[in-house]
A and B are shown apart, each in its own frame.
Chain A
Amino acid sequence: MPFTPTKETYSGKIYTVAVGKDSGMITLGGENVLPFHTFDGLLPNRPVVAYEIQDSPPDDWPDEVLSPYADVVNSPVLWAKYCQDTLMAQAIALRLAGTHPDRANRSPEDAAQTVKDVLSSVDIPVIILGSNHAEKDASVLVAAAEAAKDRNCIIGKAQEANYKTIAAAAMANNHKLIAMSELDINLSKQLNILISQMGFEKERIIIDPMCSALGYGLEYTYSVMERIRLAALAQNDLTMQQPILGDVGIYVWKVKETQASETDVPQWGNLKERSVAWEAVTAVSLLLAGAELLIMRHPKSSDAVRKVIEELT
């Protein structure tokens, strides 16, 4: 008797979200199976790695991750082009970190100009992120969304404290929206409901359940992502069927494992390899939990993750 493997089928399906314009457009989601379970059903679109760039030279990136970008960090435009043309990025995440009141405190107008400059220099989709200061983001992201009008970007992050303003700006300027909640599946669902009750289509949301680095609570992020995906597929929960974002780099490149030298901690081995591996392992774990979009920093770990994606799809 021939062996017929059992297929897991689900009633739910992840929304298909297209980002960007024309030839640079990418599509996220669309699958009706658990991550990489291509043997069970449809996985029409591969997960995407977006390369993070910043509006002003980062002052908190360790050398290991800053050095590959040493020639371009002073110019977001050059940095963006470098990611697109040299690193062959499929997407860029422009983090407007310089707008944070504790950093350069750049104005929304300045940030909007940076957004315009970057958008006019690349064809690939751009994710526009604030500085994760709920109050300042509300004004910065409104200006950024207007500056990027009709470029079909992803704007974020909308949180409980500021979602109304940011969602309205994303809606008015035809963008997708990242809805971020803090490691709590019920709050994640609640935020999606609140945003869709404003009239923002739930099919235009990207879920960010909040990331964390390997060794620093990654299992919480993993578990929340996994449960979101099961609610979407197995329970056919219409409020949880959006693609999921893993904002990896920002969490990985601040932990001591990506910074301590081999001289200081000999048993941890070579810093170059270790730090790249730390980001890659964190990212791949989240892919397995259900993330479709990753924001990463180091070119080598990004490359490694893209290879894993290719091999698994």
Chain B
Amino acid sequence: MLVIGEKLSIIAKRVREAMMKRDKSPIQDIAISQWKAGAGMIDANIGPAEDGGEALMQWMITTIQEAVPLPVCLDTTNYRAIDAGLTVHNNQWGRPLINSTSNDPERFPMLELAAKYHSQIIGLTVGKGGLPADAEERAAIAAEIMARAAESGVPLEDLYLDPLVLQIATSQDHALKVVKAVRMFQELNDPPMKTVVGLSNISNGCPKHVRPIMNNYLLSLLIYEGLTAAIADPHEVSQTVKTIDVILGNTLYAHSYLEM
């Protein structure tokens, strides 16, 4: 399973300051640390970035890819920032991932960028009218996004469907609906659709010591259902990913499997 390192987010004070000052070293330290912990891609979350988003996204991608041989997940609602970012992304390390399109008309143009740059893209199964009520509604939205992707010239294997993980503390009944949606998404196509979650949202608002526990247990259920990728902290989830891989028979067990 692909872990997309979540730690380069504007929400974190250290990262935000580094972004504003264009200070490469904290960004690169975090990227390297996530790569070594098993991340296969690095999320670059620059927020809405209304002003100067283009330059910031380009700087982030270049800074990250100078330090680690990984592709970047371009995480912003700013269309122009993603457009600019994709022009500098080094595809030698793998293809980029746009985060994200959805059923909100404002996010439709992201699909054009995916087609234009031959990028992968996340399809978040929400519309303009609020949160999906259940797994079935998520799947219905997914089908609409898939149809739109096909019209835009984005191959379905480049689309990662995201069921939108909600906070357990406020929306407990959605946890199981997300698990079910991951199963249903795959059935929408043959070969199965790819799936992704923003994992740590489940524990947003929980006490600090609960968060890694909540994240890891949810992840193990999702991997069992066939999840392709998770935006998560690789340090926090690597043991779960490796252990579930062993339990599912994807990797051969050895006493030191956690060290590999």
Interfacial residues, chain A to chain B (CB-CB below 8 A): 185-187, 189-190, 193-194, 197, 227, 231, 235, 237-240
Contacts and interface: CB of A to CB of B under 8 A. Distances in A.
Contact of A239 (B250, B254, B255): B254
Interface in B203-260: 250-256, 259-260
A187 B253 CA distance: 9
B: contact size bracket: under 10
Contact of B250 (A185, A190, A227, A235): A235
A237 B256 contact: no
B259 A190 contact: no
Contact of A186 (B250, B254, B260): B254
A231 B252 contact: yes
Nearest to B253: A186
Q: Looking at chain B's contact residues, is the secondary structure mostly helix, strand, loop, or mixed?
A: loop
| Nearest 7 CB-CB pairings of A with B | A189-B254, A190-B254, A193-B256, A231-B252, A190-B255, A186-B253, A186-B254
A186 to B, nearest CB: 5
Contacts, number: 30
Contacts of B255: 186, 190
B259 A237 contact: no
Contacts of B260: 193, 238-239
A187 B252 CA distance: 10
A240 B252 contact: yes
Contacts of B259: 193, 197
A231 B253 CA distance: 11
Contact of B251 (A193, A194, A227, A237): A237
Contacts of A197: 256, 259
Contacts of B254: 186-187, 189-190, 193, 239
A194 B252 contact: no
A235 B252 CA distance: 8
A186 B252 contact: yes
Nearest to B250: A235
A137 B252 CA distance: 30
A194 B252 CA distance: 15
